Homo-oligomer: A and B are copies of this chain.
Amino acid sequence: MKYFKIYILFFLFIPSIIFAQTEKVDTNIMNQIRKEGLQNSKVMNIAFNLTDASGPRLTASPGFMRAANYAKDQLTKWGLVNAMLDPWGDFGKSWELEKSYVAMTAPWYKSLEAYPKVWTGGTGGLQNAEVILITAKDSAGLDAYRGKLAGKILIMDRSDTYKLSFAPDATRYSDEQLDSMANIKMEPIDTAAMRKRREEFRSRFRGEQSMLNSLKSMAIGEGAIAMFTSSPRNHDGTIFVQQAGPYKVTDPANFLDIALQWEDYMTIVRLLRNNVPVKMDIDVETKFFNDDTKGYNVIAEIPGTDKKLKDEVVMLGGHLDSWQGGTGATDTGAGSMVMMEAVRILKAIGIKPRRTIRIALWSGEEEGLLGSRGYVKKTFADPADMKLLPAHEKFAAYFNVDNGTGKIRGVYLQGNEAVRPIFQQWLVPFNDLGAKTLTISNTGGTDHLSFDAVGLPGFQFIQDPLEYGTRNHHSNMDVYDHLQEDDLKQAAVIVAAFVYDDAAMRETKLPRKELPKANPNGRGF
């Protein structure tokens, strides 16, 4: 096995092996992890508890708390210690849907699939209301509707059309795609250019957003009942839906903004364009929770056993919170269940790591990586001043899963070239499971950025896309059935192995990038 490994390293990774030390990889433990994870998996049972049994897991909502308490209790049952719901700072109010009935009653009857967006108010009982078509192209155009919105439901005109799906919903990375990721060269990040692109992107939607905000203000002022919206990505009954607006305790309830199937939305638009009156029955009840405005992460540990190294920490995590169209099975129930399964595997095979292993299931990720940022800030450093707390020095690495239910194909190195030869060797026992690619690329939008922002090694795995972008991500189809059991098992095995390699086998902590400068105006990424 050892011979085999060196053979692979020699032929595949020549540039690395010239400069890199050989990593100690315990073949026996790797086999045990693999056997426990692939043949005795509990990942789908964890999945059931985080999704079907808990419901949607909007941060701080009853569904989130059900899942968080299940996770805390389950981690404790498996033998982890210090399991807790750990407050990370002030979040705001949470929200839950209590009732939603939306049906077209004229020109004919149809009960509509409808998702009131998060943090909206309700209708105050059953209303029967006319829908009016807003054809304004900008805020000035809204004047034509002034005084006409009371008791109405609003819908914006639009003209996009359905595109046939000649490409499959599901894909896996091909060898060519993985090779091309592996061969990307590290280039200094041009933050000015990034900021410019971001600004250009935002300004494209600023006019539209500004009109929408004006319309909502008018709607609230005049006593309109609701408005319908639909993402251009909606098709075939898949509905993408997020929040309606702010959620601080001082914010009023947002105007009732309801996501519809794109097909239903367009039916209503066409009827109104053709002067056919459209009436709806609508009865929406929502509930806000103000009693505890703190946000909580779930934390638990497998303590280190090496006198010299047990204060050092290897972390693994995913975010537990979700949006509310589905039950956040792939975003990122998947990350949470893979991480829980990874520590279960390590406990089940009875490892005694030298460093402490700490799992974190974050909240507030969907609102801007809030849980991991809060945790990093209070534990390691605030990117705004970069005053390092003592734990910063003791931190080894953070491993994150948050790109859906697809199996692991490798790791984003996040610009840290020095870890490449290490991860290459850690991946060798799992090359046959499709995991062998290292890309110097940054990847955005997941909780590893909170660590990266204060100069700590934080990594997100490369995962097969499957149907994440086409069907699952922030949609009503982000539910248990769209999880891929074999992919999740593979991911849990590889995460468990990485955590073990780092926590039990290495003499020194992983190499770090240069410390970033304090960034008083930003969050560090």
- A residues at B contact (CB < 8 Å): 48, 52-56, 62-63, 96-101, 103, 107-111, 113-114, 161-162, 164-171, 236-239, 261-263, 266-267, 270-271, 274, 276, 327, 466-467, 471, 476-477, 479-482, 484
Q: Identify which of B109, B467, B477 contacts A97 (C-beta below 8 A).
A: B109
Q: Chain B residues near A99 (CB, 8 Å)?
A: 103, 109, 111
B63 touches A108 (CB 8 A): yes
A111 touches B107 (CB 8 A): no
Q: Chain B residues near A48 (CB, 8 Å)?
A: 270, 274
CA distance A236 to B169 in the complex (A): 10
CA distance A171 to B271 in the complex (A): 30
A430 smallest CB distance to B (angstroms): 22
B164 touches A467 (CB 8 A): yes
What are 19 A-B contacts defined by CB distance under 8 Å?
A52-B267, A52-B271, A52-B274, A53-B107, A53-B274, A55-B107, A55-B108, A55-B110, A111-B114, A164-B169, A164-B170, A164-B467, A166-B171, A168-B168, A236-B477, A262-B481, A263-B479, A267-B480, A270-B480
Q: Chain B residues near A53 (CB, 8 Å)?
A: 107, 271, 274, 276
A443 smallest CB distance to B (angstroms): 22
A99 smallest CB distance to B (angstroms): 7
CA distance A110 to B107 in the complex (A): 27
Q: Chain B residues near A171 (CB, 8 Å)?
A: 166
Q: Chain B residues near A274 (CB, 8 Å)?
A: 48, 52-53
B270 touches A52 (CB 8 A): yes
CA distance A266 to B481 in the complex (A): 8
Q: Identify which of B98, B109, B270 contacts A98 (C-beta below 8 A).
A: B109
Output the nearest chain B residue to A100 by Cβ-Cβ distance. B111
A525 smallest CB distance to B (angstroms): 32
B170 touches A165 (CB 8 A): yes
CA distance A236 to B267 in the complex (A): 20
Q: Chain B residues near A110 (CB, 8 Å)?
A: 55, 97
A59 smallest CB distance to B (angstroms): 16
A480 touches B266 (CB 8 A): yes
The 3 tightest CB contacts between A and B, nearest first, are A237-B237, A55-B108, A164-B170
Output the nearest chain B residue to A48 by Cβ-Cβ distance. B270
Further contacts, 14 of them, CB under 8 A, given A101-B101, A236-B477: A97-B111, A99-B109, A101-B111, A162-B482, A164-B169, A164-B466, A236-B237, A237-B238, A237-B476, A262-B481, A263-B477, A263-B479, A266-B480, A267-B480
A267 touches B164 (CB 8 A): no
Q: Chain B residues near A476 (CB, 8 Å)?
A: 237
CA distance A462 to B281 in the complex (A): 43
Output the nearest chain B residue to A284 by Cβ-Cβ distance. B111
A481 touches B113 (CB 8 A): no
Output the nearest chain B residue to A54 by Cβ-Cβ distance. B108
Q: Chain B residues near A108 (CB, 8 Å)?
A: 54-56, 62-63
CA distance A467 to B110 in the complex (A): 23
Q: Identify which of B55, B109, B261, B482 contacts A96 (C-beta below 8 A).
A: B109
Instruction: Tell which of A101, A107, A108, A471 has the most Cβ of chain B within 10 Å.
Output: A108
Output the nearest chain B residue to A476 by Cβ-Cβ distance. B237
B165 touches A169 (CB 8 A): yes
Q: Chain B residues near A262 (CB, 8 Å)?
A: 481
B164 touches A166 (CB 8 A): no
A237 touches B113 (CB 8 A): yes
Output the nearest chain B residue to A487 by Cβ-Cβ distance. B164
Q: Identify which of B100, B162, B266, B481 contacts A263 (C-beta below 8 A).
A: B481
A42 smallest CB distance to B (angstroms): 14
A481 smallest CB distance to B (angstroms): 4
Q: Chain B residues near A168 (CB, 8 Å)?
A: 165-168
Q: Chain B residues near A56 (CB, 8 Å)?
A: 108
A484 touches B164 (CB 8 A): yes
Q: Chain B residues near A276 (CB, 8 Å)?
A: 52-53
A496 smallest CB distance to B (angstroms): 25
CA distance A110 to B326 in the complex (A): 9
A236 touches B471 (CB 8 A): yes
CA distance A52 to B98 in the complex (A): 31
A166 touches B170 (CB 8 A): yes
Q: Chain B residues near A482 (CB, 8 Å)?
A: 162, 263
Output the nearest chain B residue to A478 by Cβ-Cβ distance. B263
CA distance A267 to B481 in the complex (A): 8
CA distance A88 to B63 in the complex (A): 57
CA distance A348 to B327 in the complex (A): 55
Q: Chain B residues near A98 (CB, 8 Å)?
A: 109
Output the nearest chain B residue to A96 by Cβ-Cβ distance. B109
CA distance A271 to B51 in the complex (A): 10
Output the nearest chain B residue to A104 by Cβ-Cβ distance. B55
Q: Identify which of B101, B162, B467, B477 contacts A237 (C-beta below 8 A).
A: B477
Q: Chain B residues near A479 (CB, 8 Å)?
A: 263, 267
Instruction: Tell which of A103, A114, A261, A267 has the most Cβ of chain B within 10 Å.
Output: A267
